[in-house]
Amino acid sequence: MLFKVEMQVNIPSSLPKAQADDIKAKEKAYSQQLQRDGKWPHIWRVVGQYANVSIFDVADNQELHTILTALPLYPYMEITVQPLCEHPSSIHNQQ
């Protein structure tokens, strides 16, 4: 199943820099592994924001929930999720 996921990161300014840097490093490693595994095939930065728009390709809602809640930055995120389906006018291969 494909999902469009929008993530807005809001790290509090009171979080010590070293702790924030550690969380960001863990986030990067985890997200890049998910990309290599094919679970997170697309990620785009939103210009001017600490935010991204991503496409996830997972088995079901539960798998997406498990992935998102395991993100090291999850406690500092506002997340919106939209399930996606193929468009009948698409020229790309049908799944």
Give residue limits of the domains in the chain: 2-84
Separation of alpha carbons 39 and 3, rounded Å: 10
2-84, which class in CATH? alpha beta
Pairing, β 2-9 against β 51-57? antiparallel
Q: Which class for 14: exposed (0-12), middle (13-18), buried (19 or more C-beta within 10 A)?
A: exposed
Global confidence as pTM: 0.91
How far CA 72 is from CA of 13, 63, 88, 90, in Å, comes to 17, 16, 37, 35
Tens digits of pLDDT across the chain (95 residues): 999 999 999 999 999 999 999 999 999 999 999 999 999 999 999 999 999 999 999 999 999 999 999 999 999 999 999 999 988 998 886 65
